Amino acid sequence: MRKLPPLNSLRVFDAVARNGSLSKAASELCVSPSAVSQQISNLENWLGVRLLDRSSNKTSLSQNGHQFSKQIKDTFDNLEEDVSQIHEIRNDEEIRLSVLPSLASRWLIHRLPQFRALHPRYRVMVEASFDQADFNPRELTLAIRSGTGLYPGCHATKLFDEYVAPACSPDYWKKHAVALEDIGNRTLLADHTVGTEKTNLDWGTWMYRENVQPTGNLEPSQLFTDSNLTIQAAINGEGFMLGRSVLINEEIARGTLITPFSNRQLSDWPYFVVYPEKYHPPRTALKLIVNWLCEQANETPGSIRHNVTTA
């Protein structure tokens, strides 16, 4: 028989060590601070050492507590990793994909039936999110993000580049046609998520790289938290947007948007498919979905193709 301390007390102690207080640990575990304190006392009695230094104003780890917390953290980290791998094997038929909302609705959704037809064994669960993918707690399989491609602890494969150019509705252009240098005298639309970044998804940076001296203010009149909203505002005739070619290609084809200037730039933020480095090279479902996404990227109108697949 294994001689182990109460496992629930170990879990409570780990929460106290990570959070640095009884009350925060209690909040994480959804119990009362007194229940946390009791579990720590039980563990101290079992071990025969003091883990916490208690005073009327503060509770902190003792010297023994610091040493033991490191051991417990390593133990739980290893256990979490083992459970994650078992869970991955058990749920290998479900592919969980985090993707930007605009790319999900304007690029991915209508392509997914093709993946299902090719691989009926696998189910894809799509999470539309702006957040940086947290693969462990959310148990995601992979993510698609737009950015620099630097994602610590992850393997990133570029899906495609795209062009950035001013776009508007045909009706808006008929009423408000303007020379490029005067575009700041019209209503400018932008995504709040990229509008303050020093990339060419920002009006000021884009114009500077065109070597065009604007005659008006390039501060956007309307900001949106999602490219879908920015695109819809442009379709509705509310102003000019910096259109990303992959996202607006279908609207260009429909004639609901136009790019009236010949000027265009390669986007500073291409798209990447990202997954934890520990799963590279990918296998089974992950390999299938990554290769399929790369194939779709190579066939995407408005994208700059790379013809890349994973090993």
Distance separating alpha carbons of residues 232 and 118, to the nearest angstrom: 33
Among residues 37, 68, 84, which one ends one of the domains?
A: 84
Do 262 and 279 sit in the same domain of this protein?
A: no
Exposure b/e, 73-102, CB count within 10 A at least 16 = b: eeeeeeeeeeeeeeebeeeeeebbbbbbbb
- Does residue 259 sit in the same domain as residue 166? yes
Residue 189 lies in a domain: yes
Q: What's this model's pTM, rounded to 2 decimal places?
A: 0.67
Of the listed ranges 23-27, 235-239, 241-245, the one predicted with least confidence: 23-27
Tell me phi and psi for residue 142, to 5 degrees.
-160, 170
Domain end: 52, 84, 116, which one? Answer: 84
Mean pLDDT is highest, among 69-73, 154-158, 233-237, 266-270, for: 233-237
What is the predicted pLDDT for the residue at 33? Answer: 81
- For residue 310, being part of any structural domain is answered with no
Of the listed ranges 42-46, 103-107, 214-218, the least confidently predicted one is 42-46
* Most confident of the ranges 69-73, 120-124, 258-262: 258-262
Q: Hey, which residues does 240 pair with through a beta bridge?
A: 188
Q: Is the pLDDT of residue 211 over 90?
A: yes
How many domains, the chain? 3
Nearest to 97 by CA among 292, 300, 309: 292
Kindly tell me if the per-residue pLDDT of 238 is higher than 90.
yes
Q: What is the mean pLDDT of residues 56-60?
A: 70
- pLDDT of the residue at 195: 44
Whether the pLDDT of residue 84 is over 80: the answer is no
Domain residues for the domain of 55 are: 7-84
- The DSSP H or E segment spanning 275 is strand 271-276
What ranges in 106-244 are assigned the alpha helix state H?
A: 112-118, 135-138, 170-176, 192-195, 203-209, 227-235
pLDDT attached to residue 109: 93
Q: What pLDDT score was predicted for residue 311?
A: 44
CATH at 40: 1.10.10.10
